[in-house]
Amino acid sequence: MDKPAGLTSHDAVHRVRRALGIRAVGHTGTLDPFATGLLVVLVGRATRLARFVEQQPKTYLATARLGFRTDTDDRTGKALEPVVAQPALPEAMVRVALAGFEGEQRQRPPSFSAKHVDGVRSYRLARRGETVALPEVPVTVHRIELVAQDGAQVTFRTTVSAGTYVRALARDLGERLGVGAHLVALRREAIGPLNVDAAVPLEAVTAAAVRPVREVLGHMPALELDAEARCDVLHGRAVGAAGQGGSGVDVALLWEGELVAVAREVGGLLKPAVVLADP
C-alpha cells in the first residue's frame, strides 16, 4: 500500500486486518508516522516471508533541512541548538557531500530508534531523558543523488541496505556541511523490485487488491517443482538444487506457478526454510 502521512505502520496493519477480516497480518519495514510511501503488508501464511522482503534494498525520496539538529534527527524532535536562518550553500558543495555517502560504511543509529539497549527499545530510554549512545552498525548506500535544493531544504533520492536510517543520513549530511541538519520529509519509493507506483491507497485495500505472494519474492530465482519434488518439499525434505544460484541463495519453489515454499541452497540441495502449502 501507499501509506499516508500521520499513520503509524502498526495502524496501517490494523486497518488491513479490519478491511480483510484476517488476523494474521504484518508489515515488512516500519515507516515513521510522518513518512509516506510503500508499505508491504503480508497476510495469512505469507507473514512468514517477512524476512525475505525486509532484507531487500530500499529506495527513498528524502528532504533534509539544513541549519540545526533535533534530538530525533527529524522534524518531530526538539531543536538541539538555536534555530537560525541558514544561507543557501553552493549546490556543488551539497552534491559532493551527498556523493561521499555512497558505498559501505558504519552508521550511528538515531537515539530515538527501535534498537534494543539491554532489552529496552532505545526510543523508550531517550523519552525518559536517559543518554543513549548506540554503537555504529555497517550499512551500504548503493546510490544517492541530489534532486533539488531550495534554500535550506535539500531533497535527495537514495537506495540503501536494510537497517539504514535515512534520518541519520540527513543528520550526517549536516555534520559534513558543518551546519547541522534533520529530516523533514520521507517517502519510500521501492523495496527491491516492488514500487510504490503499483501500490494502492489505504482506503482501497480490499480482498481484490491482495496480490499473489510470488510477487513479493520477484528478486529470487525460482524453480518449478515436479510432483515428486513437491511432495518432498511439503514434508520438509530437501530436493536437488539444479544449480539455482549457488550455496546460501534463497530460491522460490513453485507448483503450477504458485509459491509453495522458500528454500536455501546448501551443499547442492534446496532445503526448505518456509513451507506455505499443506502436504
Compute the distance between CA of residue 57 and CA of residue 186 in angstroms, rounded to an integer: 16
Q: For residue range 34-71, list pLDDT tens digits in order.
A: 999 999 999 999 999 999 999 999 999 999 999 999 98
CATH code of the domain containing 232: 2.30.130.10
Specify the higher pLDDT residue, 128 or 46: 46
**Beta-carbon contacts of residue 178 (< 8 Å; ≥ 6 apart):** none
pLDDT over 50 at 217, yes or no: yes
In this predicted structure, what is the pLDDT of residue 29? 86
The strand order across the sheet containing 250-255 reads 222-224, 250-255, 258-266, 269-275, 239-240
Of 147, 170, 191, which residue constitutes the final position of a domain? Answer: 191
171 found inside a domain: yes
Q: Are residues 180 and 79 in the same domain?
A: yes
Name the catalytic one among 2, 11, 32, 232.
Answer: 32
Catalytic status, residue 2: no
Compute the distance between CA of residue 121 and CA of residue 127 in angstroms, rounded to an integer: 10
Q: Are residues 90 and 136 in the same domain?
A: yes
Residue 104's φ and ψ, nearest 5 degrees, are: -80, 140
Compute the distance between CA of residue 115 and CA of residue 111 in angstroms, rounded to an integer: 9
Range of the domain at 68: 57-191
Cα dihedral sign, 76-81-87-88: negative
Q: How many CB atoms lie within 10 A of CB 68?
A: 18
In this predicted structure, what is the pLDDT of residue 248? 85
The residues that bridge with 144 in the sheet, in sequence order, are 158
Q: Are residues 175 and 264 in the same domain?
A: no
In this predicted structure, what is the pLDDT of residue 244? 66
pLDDT over 80 at 112, yes or no: no
Q: Count up the domains in the chain and report the number.
A: 2
Average confidence (pLDDT) over 266-277: 91
Q: Is 45 exposed, middle or buried (0-12, 13-18, 19+ CB in 10 A)?
A: middle
27 found inside a domain: no
Q: How confident is the model at residue 270 (pLDDT cuts 50, 70, 90)?
A: very high
| Pairing mode, strands 250-255 and 222-224 | parallel
Q: Are residues 257 and 164 in the same domain?
A: no
Q: Are residues 161 and 268 in the same domain?
A: no
- At 138, the amino acid letter reads P
CATH code of the domain containing 113: 3.30.2350.10
**Beta-carbon contacts of residue 77 (< 8 Å; ≥ 6 apart):** 70, 71, 112, 182
18 found inside a domain: no
